[in-house]
Structure 1
Amino acid sequence: MDKRRELLLDIGKLLLTVTAATILGKFFTKAGFQEANIVVIYILNVLLVARFTHGYYFGIASSIISLLSFNYFFSAPYYTLSVYDSSYLVTFVIMLITALITSALTTKEKLLTQEAMEKGNENQMLYQLANNLSDASDIESILKVTIESVGRLLRTDIGCIYIGKSGTIYFQQIEGELVRQKAENYDEIEKSLVRLKTQYRKSARAYEYPIRGQGRLLAVLKINGSLSEEELKGKSRLLHAIIENVSLALERIEIMTEQIQDRQKIEKERDRANLLRSISHDLRTPLSGIMGTSEMLMDMTDKQDRRYCLIQGIYQDADWLKSLVENVLNLTRLRDGEVLIQKEPEAIEEIIGCAVAHVEKAFPDREIDVQIPEEFHLVPMDARLMEQVITNLLDNAVKHTKPDEKIQVAVSYTRAEVIVTVRDEGEGIASCDAPNIFQMFYTSKTRSSDIKKGIGLGLAICETVIKAHGGTICGQNRQDHQDHQGAEFIFRLPFS
């Protein structure tokens, strides 16, 4: 309807200016002016039509109508299109050429001016958008700026759905007011737009434009479906530029959020490590005194005395608590890089022997089976830390097995590495625990009531030490034989 009205208005302008030029020409004739002045009036008429109408067609039409009007009203014989004087033909041709050139140049200049103004307005809009996006401090602010900018551009209601890692945010413009909505089907929207090949998807009520980041869909821009595709096509370049700016802004906020979260995690981890280190240092001295005193009392007490078992229990609990404190200190030092790995060629068999002896001393009722191959290799490692790894793995096996269930340590070699496996016949690793067994302070959620106490540091230390040696460690349920249940922990150390 707007285009039809515009066409009728341009036709009215054409007819009005030609009529005005003719009437003015009549006044010039009565005033005794020459025909050349009337030609100038019609050329001025062509210029005005070209300037104030749309497109080249009205300027061309104005040139032809002006020529015919001049011939009809101002050249003999009057009020007819016939030409008696051949010299008028030259005048008509020159007048027509002049009018056409004037019309073309004027129309072109007008179009160039309009294009320059449109580009200027677009650049101003993009500049303002970039400033507003740079000032935005969160996702919600970016969505509001996006909706306001696109709404001003297209003069219609806009919606924007942010699909983030932590949730979904949906704002919609309804009659000029921004309203937070609930996106109930955003999963379907995301699936439909992830592999979209075109610029947008047309749904029943809206045009849906994907806003993509690096490798994933960040948001969806929803434009009122009442808008015609021709109107969208005319604004597609600017709309694409807005979407690119919004994509960069959303990624910037996500990166900032991740950096803040990482910084908070680091600070939290540092505070926790400092607290654990402080507590551990404070506990070592009294624990050493308790162990020394209880050991002296055991030497002074007959084993048949009932008090001997009580003293022995004190000693064992203090020893367990001391080993726990040592684990905390070692883990915090390893994580903070305070412990340097000093690799020397060592025999893994000797280290396993020391670890087994230590565990059997702490648990004299347990027997550990060791399988060593005939071949012999020296492996570069830090003997003290590696002994702690094997001790922790054996201690973990003891805690998760009954006295009559077997524990086994097996060693094997490949061309490039040594493989150490610690197996038991206990209850195994529950599927819900498998992804978390090497996390700090993680303990099984499905442990039997008779399993010995622990706070989940032993395996975390093992993983830290093995990775520091350039090796790998994993834990799984036993797979060597169907008749055996239980868990097995396997770590590998390279020869170089």
Structure 2
Amino acid sequence: MEMEKSIGIRVPILRNFGKIAIIWGLSTMLAIVLNHTGVRIENLLLIYVVGVILCSVETRSMLWSISSSIVFVFTFNYLLTSPRFTFQVDDPNYVISLLIFIIVAFIAASLTVKLQKQMDLDRERAEIMLKLNTIGSGFLNLSGRQAIISYSKKSLHNLTGKETEILIRSRDERFSDSSAEWCFRNSMACGYGEAQFGDSTRLYVPVCSLSKTYGVIIFSCSNGGLAREERMYVEMVISQITLVLEREQLNEEKEESRLQIERERLKSTLLRSISHDLRTPLTGIAGNSNFLYENYTLVDEESAKSLLLDISTEAEWLNSMVENLLNMTRIQEGKLEIHKKKEVVDDLISGAVTLVSKRLGNHTLKTVTPPEIELISVDARLFTQVLVNLIDNGIRHSGENTVITVSAGAKRNRMVFTVSDNGTGIPGDKMEHIFDSFFTAAYREGDRQRGAGLGLAICKAIIEAHGGRILIDQNVEKGAAFRIEMPMEETDDQ
């Protein structure tokens, strides 16, 4: 390791020595030739001045420039002044000329080296500014905190050449690194080279604006800290990071406001739907029950049975609607529990048919079951609710005197249920919204038909929670058909 370091030091020295030797040789040869042609001795000094400047340009070092100027002076004195080939000077004018030469050489070398260093510095700054502009442009299209962190980490590593870690505070969590926590809470840099935790090999810099601290940037300083200009550039990048984080926070707040407005809108829609849909059956139940109570001895048996059947039908419809509302609440809160057991397909269909039989009115309900006993793993209560919702949807929206068919059959490794009707069908512009909450085709008819628009949305959520899918079958010639595809293999309870 020491040998490699020694070689690394010797190579630049030998290279600079070689450059000076070449310039010295060419300058001396040119001076000797011009001296033989009768050029004045004072003009020959200018050749060596140019040589010193060239040495300054090539070596970029004041030490080498001063050394070359001394060598050139002694060479000029030895070869070109009387007495020649000695270091003596007989003419006092030569002494003055040589002193002026040394002074001019020093000044020229100094100015040349400073100018080169300034040019190198300006070039480095231009490169840094280009990197900063590129970094700033990259921040424009970023969204999401993870993307911001990843891009910032990569940009700071490219800018400083140091391993970088970025911690952004989320809510009230604490950083496991105590130094990072101190930096965040005090909005001050700490760690390597700082007053606080100065013996650390890591530098902690806060990501903060005037009003808020968002996180901490950690630089690995095992190979040295950040220079003053690097710290300035890092601060510029941090200001861009804070702007992007503030923009992200504003977007999150905007989205939260939008969701809050949407929740309020849905709540208003739900209250409007419930008040509208509950009023009619409750009015019928109250009216029929009061009529029976007040005219109990006057109503014949057939009329009484008819009124009681209406009360029972309305009560069952209310029960179904309340069940849908409860399921929707559980779905929105993420509390819908699926308890699967193996169920017979025929029993699931017959259970749903039994629940809706009193609400059929002038509709006809047909069932087509598999020829053999088939089992699927489902939550029987929830899956029956799905079939009931689909049948109710056909009863309400298919028109008068339609035939509603519930069928099931195995296809490969899936059990396919279909609930179809031969009614008016679903309008084309309603297809993509048919499974949205609070959407119902009844709105096109002035809300004359009951329904809060929750049934199909609940069906979709329940089926997907089982690992299946529900979709509209586009292959029917007339009416509407909903197809449910359920996996026949048993899956883990969700």
TM-score, with length taken from structure 2: 0.49
